[in-house]
Amino acid sequence: MTLMMLGPVHTGSGQVLGPLDYVVRQEKDGAIWFYAIDAARIFGQMTDRQRVDLESATRTGGPTAGLRRFINSVFDPSKHVVWQCQADEVLLRAYQQNEGGRQGSGGGREQRNGGERERALEPPSILTMTRTGQKGDPYLPGSSIKGAIRTAWLWYRAGAGQAMPGLQAQAGMMRGDIFEAEVLGYRVQLGTAEEGIDTTDPHADPMRSVRVTDAALVPDSNVIERVVLYEGEGRQGSQREPLFMDATFSGLEGEGIYATGQMSIYRELQAHAVPEGLRSEAGRRWRWPRAVAEEISAEQILEACRKFYLENLRREFERFYKTSRYLRPVGEKLVQMAEQLRPNEALLRIGRFSHIENMTVRPYAGGTGRTRGLAGALRPMGWVKMRLETVR
């Protein structure tokens, strides 16, 4: 399984790095680097002189600003880095704005009594990507990939956007898990209509036979940059503070950013026959002839993902990008690449800012997101091309 990034992808780790957890520097070659630091190592290896400098910095600059100033003065990339990646100029400016007590512009202004004055801002917090514990290398979790596949498969089995007799009428009254189980064949109804149980048996979920590993990204795949919320027609959504994310580069610019993993389809599980004595229509025994409710093939998965995500991408282009002189070329290129997929390729939407229509299935949970997350104010997030090649 090869996943090629068509847009920046951010799969959140749940960790947020504050101003004391990182350093941003522009090196001599002009490259801007973000360093996630080990503060415990810095403070645990201080010399007597550095202890005096730390006390002086916090006394004159305050606890937070003083600590940050001290960290910058002693930081050594060869000793104190947990992981590093590139960063954009917007983050560098935001970081330098308050570094060493300096005040700058670029978002640091506020209105007071009809006048305008500068105010120092804390460097922004950073939402980090899923990374390995030892080296801090970024990767795409198998659970995120499989979740995107599952949504497309559920849509495909529910009629691929076409109303199925009886199912659409039930959808509004069903719990989400019951709806999934009904579509995929592992819903269980015991007893009678007057007195019974309506439940599911996840052991029969056909997606159990599909396993997806984590997908390791190529080196130097990520960048820290600002993400803006876009409402369409040139309007940006309201944000209380700048949003900076650790995400992959977009492949639309030709960076060739990709991740590799494996998808395994266990046909032995799909074909495993359950002995007659275990099957029962009236009791709680196994009620399917096989170990899972139905079979799934790689070809079906590819077809489901192609149709589901391409339809949503086209809809997104029409609503958000078509009328923008800046976003239209990006959207057109994205749609063009998605329409030229090979038979062993499909489209996916992974990670944050995948938006509701790519994570839910009509008619049970319809609707569409009101904004789009754009990395660098220009690149739609989350779009990925998946390629499957049989391993023999």
What are the sequence ranges of the domains in the chain?
A: 19-124, 140-387
User: Which carries the bigger pLDDT value, residue 163 or residue 307?
Assistant: 307
Residue type for 379, please?
A: R
| Distance, CA of 268 to CA of 109 (rounded, Å) | 64
pLDDT recorded at residue 54? 85
Global pTM value: 0.86
pLDDT recorded at residue 197? 74
pLDDT tens for 159-179 read: 876 766 666 666 666 677 788
Q: Output Rg (C-alpha) for the chain, integer angstroms.
A: 26
pLDDT recorded at residue 365? 52
- Across all residues in the chain, what is the average pLDDT? 84
| Structure tokens, 115 | 């006048």
Band the pLDDT of 338: cuts 50, 70, 90. very high
pLDDT tens for 368-381 read: 778 899 999 899 99
- Residue range 329-344: mean pLDDT, rounded: 94
| Distance, CA of 338 to CA of 6 (rounded, Å) | 9
Please state which of the ranges 145-154, 210-219, 259-268, 362-371 shows the lowest mean pLDDT: 362-371
- Residue range 207-228: mean pLDDT, rounded: 96
Return the residue matching tokens 């500068």: 118
| Distance, CA of 100 to CA of 74 (rounded, Å) | 13
pLDDT recorded at residue 278? 56
User: Which carries the bigger pLDDT value, residue 146 or residue 121?
Assistant: 146
Nearest partner of 220 among 33, 37, 67, 18, judged by Cα: 33
DSSP string, 360-381: S-TTTT----S-EEEETTTEES
Dihedral (C-alpha) 16, 139, 184, 306: value to the nearest 10 degrees? 110
- Residue range 278-302: mean pLDDT, rounded: 79
Identify the bridge partners of residue 227 per DSSP, sorted by sequence position.
243, 375
Nearest partner of 73 among 42, 113, 118, 108, judged by Cα: 42
End-to-end CA distance of the chain: give it in Å, rounded. Answer: 14
